[in-house]
């Protein structure tokens, strides 16, 4: 088995696929969050594509340790995205401020949504909470409406807990 095989996913159900992301993240985890989140961006991208969910962005915004009023762009897969998001702004900043997952079936109906890519139709953002503080968010965008549901939320929230170990 080579590393890329973790991204080669076929014939799994949605639950199995999302569990595969968690198992693979755990197997690949190092002590460095940049390495971990980079590989996790890839795992998320390929896992969702294996389910035919048209994810166009999978990645992370992390609390700026030099200015805790903002999130900064972290590791991701997909097109170039905005670098800075104020806490409280957009879907990511709202998830960070409220410490609650934002499940957005239609981004046009989310008043403060920040459009890094005008093709995005739906989104899910999960806060990463460490010692009661939001230290970043997981962000997934989809080219179709209703791209994500409560099942995605459940697995992504488990992932968010695992991520805090090396953040
Ligand atoms: N849509 C996000 C901005 C980040 S991009 O989706 C990559 C938001 O409203 O916070």
To the question of pTM greater than 0.85 for the whole model, the response is yes
Q: What is the pLDDT of residues 37-50, one digit of tens each?
A: 999 999 999 999 99
Whether 145 contacts 121, CB under 8 Å: yes
In the chain the domains, ranked by start, together with CATH numbers, are: 3-163 (3.30.450.40)
Q: What is the pLDDT of residues 104-125, one digit of tens each?
A: 999 999 999 999 999 999 999 9
Nearest ligand 1 atom, CA 57: 7
Strand order of the sheet with strand 84-86? 84-86, 70-78, 55-63, 133-142, 122-130, 102-104
Output the CA 89–ligand 1 centroid distance in Å.
Answer: 9
Give the residue-averaged pLDDT of 153-161: 98
Name the residue with the closest Cα to ligand 1, atom 3: 114
Output the CA 2–ligand 1 centroid distance in Å.
Answer: 33
């Amino acid at each position: 088995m080579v590393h890329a095989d973790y991204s080669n996913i076929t014939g799994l159900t949605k639950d199995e696929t999302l569990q595969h992301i968690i198992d693979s993240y755990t197997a690949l985890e190092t002590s460095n969050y940049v390495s971990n989140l980079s590989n996790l961006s890839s795992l998320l991208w390929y896992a969702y594509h294996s389910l035919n969910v048209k994810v166009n962005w999978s990645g992370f915004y992390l609390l700026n340790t030099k200015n805790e009023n903002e999130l900064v762009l972290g590791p991701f897969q997909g097109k170039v995205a905005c670098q800075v998001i104020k806490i409280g702004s957009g879907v990511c900043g709202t998830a960070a401020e409220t410490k609650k997952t934002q499940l957005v079936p239609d981004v046009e109906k989310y008043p403060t949504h920040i459009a890094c890519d005008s093709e995005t139709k739906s989104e899910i953002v999960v806060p990463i909470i460490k010692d009661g503080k939001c230290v970043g968010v997981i962000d997934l965008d989809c080219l179709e409406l209703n791209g994500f549901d409560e099942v995605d939320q459940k697995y992504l929230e488990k992932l968010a807990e695992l991520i805090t170990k090396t953040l």
